[in-house]
Amino acid sequence: MTVTEELSRSGDPGPVDLGDGVFQLPTDYPEVCNAPLWTYLLLDGDKFALIDPGIRSTMGATLEGSVRQLGLGLDALDLLLATHGHPDHSGGQSSWGVEAPAARIAAPLEDAPWVESFDRQWTRFWDDYPGTLDLSSSREFLAGLCVPEPTVDVLLRDGDSVAIGDRALDVVETRGHTWGHCAYFDRRSSTLFTGDAVQGRGIASCDGETVFAPLYVDVAEARWGLRRLQALPFERLCPAHVPPMTRDEGLRFLQASLDFIDEVDALAREMVSERSPAPLLTSELAIRISDLTGTDPPLTPQTVPTARAHLYALAREGLLDAAWIPRTIEARDG
């Protein structure tokens, strides 16, 4: 009987045994942020690694219990691995310092400054949309997901290999979602851990009331990363916010992610053509993206950076001029 079958019989939702020493662990993110999220555990002998260990509270809320259910000691944790620097993927890395002081903290090179400094991440991401999106009222909540921050021990670059015991993971830079986002490929199990690189047409909220739209900060980088993943010989695809998939399902999800980028590109070009020579606001494209995905409210930390990424891409083609449009008194007061 597998661990999964034993847990199922006991009624405990705990870890799911995916085979070959790969386990899918529940997190508290659905309760905290209304979005699905899983952490993945890789086992090699008496050592294990956690990929995307959730937010600051996740260790105590779910992961510690899952690890013990698998019969593992917390001191066997060898590696805490983040696919990128957003709090739901790296915020829990510093939580294990007392229980697993020898565990190494690893993150992509480009995203390490965000992992190590919420203030820097705030300036470069959450507070980077003046005139379009103001998240200042959420700053304390967001900081609580990841502060105090860890120090990154292992900086990962494209083509690197990072090991848990004798089990090696290939580092595959995907960028797009963040500037340094990386996926990790476990050749032993042919499993590809993609973090947030593959998002399809968005992720439904846990309460079913909205959809978290695909987020990417650069159109060309996002396409490049997805195509790199398509070329890998994986048999199982494990995104962070979507349940694991077979190869065929994963390839369809990858293609859906590329198709969404193309759809928004076509929409942006159409809006530019219809609006010319009048200005097109980032907020206007973000609202149209929310119409495509079912995102409510329409202006979010997903729709706004994705809209801006597409407008930047069209500006690079010479189809747009960047401009700051003064607001009218009525608009400011409204």
> Coil, helix or strand for 308?
helix
Rounded to whole angstroms, how far apart are CA atoms 14 and 26?
Answer: 7
- Give tens-digit pLDDT for 52-76: 999 999 999 999 999 999 999 999 9
pLDDT attached to residue 173: 98
Chain position carrying tokens 């980077």: 128
Average pLDDT over residues 315-332: 82
Percentage of the chain lying above the pLDDT 70 cut = 95
Would you say residue 12 lies in a domain? yes
Q: What number of other Cβ atoms are within 10 A of residue 60's Cβ?
A: 13
pLDDT attached to residue 318: 95
Q: State yes or no: pLDDT of 334 exceeds 50.
A: no
Would you say residue 327 lies in a domain? no
Q: State yes or no: pLDDT of 41 exceeds 50.
A: yes
Q: What number of other Cβ atoms are within 10 A of residue 131's Cβ?
A: 11
CB 93 within 8 A of CB 55: no
> What does DSSP say about strands 203-204 and 211-212: parallel, antiparallel, or unpaired?
antiparallel
Would you say residue 322 lies in a domain? no
- CATH number of the domain at 158, please: 3.60.15.10
- Tokens matching residue 321: 């001029």
Checking 266-271 for CB contacts under 8 A at 24+ apart, the result is: 267/292, 268/307, 268/310, 268/311, 268/314, 269/314, 269/319
Q: State yes or no: pLDDT of 3 exceeds 60.
A: no
pLDDT attached to residue 5: 38
CB 42 within 8 A of CB 76: no
Q: State yes or no: pLDDT of 46 exceeds 50.
A: yes
Show the domain range for 105: 3-316
Would you say residue 333 lies in a domain? no
CB 108 within 8 A of CB 176: no
The 8-class DSSP code of residue 95 comes to: G
- pLDDT tier for residue 331 given thresholds of 50, 70 and 90: low
- DSSP readout, 45-85? TTEEEEES--STTHIIIIIHHHHHHTT--GGGEEEEE-SSS
The total number of structural domains that make up the chain: 1
Question: E strand or H helix at 107, and its extent?
Answer: strand 104-108
Q: What number of other Cβ atoms are within 10 A of residue 92's Cβ?
A: 30
Instruction: Name the residue type at position 152.
Output: V
Output Rg (C-alpha) for the chain, integer angstroms.
Answer: 20
Q: State yes or no: pLDDT of 12 exceeds 60.
A: no
The 8-class DSSP code of residue 285 comes to: H
Q: State yes or no: pLDDT of 9 exceeds 50.
A: no
- Give tens-digit pLDDT for 189-198: 999 999 999 9
Chain position carrying tokens 């190869």: 247
- Give tens-digit pLDDT for 124-159: 999 999 999 999 999 999 999 999 999 999 999 999
The 8-class DSSP code of residue 237 comes to: E
Q: State yes or no: pLDDT of 118 exceeds 70.
A: yes
Beta strand ranges found along 4-55 (DSSP E): 16-19, 22-26, 38-44, 47-51
Would you say residue 332 lies in a domain? no
pLDDT attached to residue 8: 38
174 CB-near residues (< 8 Å, 6+ apart): 181, 182, 183, 194, 195, 197, 224, 225, 226, 228, 229
pLDDT attached to residue 276: 85
pLDDT attached to residue 185: 98
pLDDT attached to residue 323: 87
Across the chain, mean pLDDT equals 94
Percentage of the chain lying above the pLDDT 90 cut = 91
Average pLDDT over residues 292-317: 98
Please list the alpha-helical segments (H only) found in 108-218: 112-116, 118-121, 139-144
- pLDDT tier for residue 13 given thresholds of 50, 70 and 90: confident
Which of 128, 141, 133, 137 is closest to 33 using CA atoms?
141
